[in-house]
Structure 1
């Protein structure tokens, strides 16, 4: 179900890029599908003791309402953020929906992760083309481990506003090598922490019943998630410096959503819903 929602969202956003009268309705369909994807994944994330995405799902509901409301009003600020989402899907789609490309990227990341682990004294064995093993603990490298989602989102941000070719090239070199290299280091940290059992703490909240999972939980679901958030904040700041139009858009969106959320808290939704 989740995979279908991502595909629907991708199709909707790509249709939104076509300049026709119904484009905003496709953007609405794209945003609804993204929120649906977050909710569809709640059971799986809870089973993995990952509460970041379920929290995002709940937070996304009022933001979705505001987004739909302003897309129906043809608000240029929300149209612009929808363009960013559409470009992100353009970057992600070839790897997400062409198996040969996705597998090539997974294989490359698995090999590079293995090489770095060996270089720092934590060599692993390949149990399969994307399955790394050490000390009896196995870690599967999947598409989500390649950083392509974060790269696609940040390239969407870098390329989603009107800017010069020089700014777009600079944005690419800020985003791609930074996220790609840091993602390899993230994989190295998570695998080393898991296979060496660095964090065997609080099994009552960190265990899913699998032996040693606590170390994976703290490394992957906590430390790596927080680290990724910090990196994305710094990348956004760097992009704002190179592409000042992004800073203006971010401020406009902040004012829009903050104002709408405050109004919702004070009075509730419009009776008309528009």
Structure 2
């Protein structure tokens, strides 16, 4: 069911790129499918003690309500936001839905991660084409470890607004090599921290019953996730400088969602005061 929701979201957003009278409904279908997927993934997120994605899931509910409300009005700001999502799906879809292409990317990233690990003095053994082992601890490289989602999202941000060909090329050069290289270093950090057991702390929070998992939890679910989030914010500011229209869009979206949240929360505050 979860995979079907991702596919439905992808189809809706790609169809949204085709001019037509039903574009706003396709965008709503795309956003609703993403939120539905996040809700169904909650048990998995909790099973690996991931706190970032459950937080995103909770925040996605008011986001969906506000976005759908303004899509029905064909508000240009949320229509542009949906265009960004559609472009991101256009970039991600070939790797996500063509197994040979996705597996090729995984294999390339796994090999380059192994080379980087050897270069810093932590060589690993391959127990399978994408399964690394060191000190008895195994780390599997999957599509989410390739950085393709972040690359697709940020290229969607860079290419989803009106810009010149030169700006699009500059956006690509700012996004793709930077995220790709940093993602290799991220993999190196996670594999090394797990294999060398750098962070065996608070098993009651970070443990899942698997020996040594705590180091993976702190390295992957906390440090790497937060580091990636901070970096993407910094990269977004770089894109704002490169694409002034993107900055205007971000400002417009901020005020739109902020004002809507204030209107939702304020009546409840007044009601509690009574």
Name the TM tier (shorter chain): over 0.9
Measured against aligned partners, the alpha-carbon deviations of 1:228-266 in whole angstroms (never above 9, x if no partner) come to 011101100110111111100000000000001101112
Q: Distance in 2 between matches of 1:90 and 1:221?
A: 27
1:192 aligns with 2:184: no
**Aligned twin of 1:147:** 147
Q: Distance in 2 between matches of 1:49 and 1:234?
A: 26
Measured against aligned partners, the alpha-carbon deviations of 1:6-65 in whole angstroms (never above 9, x if no partner) come to 111000001111111111101000000010111111000100000111111111111110
Q: Distance in 1 between matches of 2:21 and 2:262?
A: 31
SS of equivalent residue, structure 1 residue 127: strand
RMSD of aligned residue pairs (Cα, Å): 0.7
**Aligned twin of 1:7:** 7
1:66-145 correspondence runs (5 A): 66-145=66-145
What TM-score do you get using the length of structure 1 for normalisation?
0.97
SS of equivalent residue, structure 1 residue 126: strand
The structural deviation recorded for 1:199 is: 0.3
Q: Distance in 1 between matches of 2:187 and 2:143?
A: 12
**Aligned twin of 1:246:** 246
Aligned length: 268
**Aligned twin of 1:271:** none
SS of equivalent residue, structure 1 residue 41: helix
Q: Distance in 2 between matches of 1:5 and 1:182?
A: 30
Q: Distance in 2 between matches of 1:226 and 1:205?
A: 17
**Aligned twin of 1:217:** 217
The structural deviation recorded for 1:224 is: 0.1
**Aligned twin of 1:272:** none
1:53 aligns with 2:53: yes
| Runs (5+) with no aligned partner, structure 2 | 269-274
SS of equivalent residue, structure 1 residue 226: helix
1:266 aligns with 2:266: yes
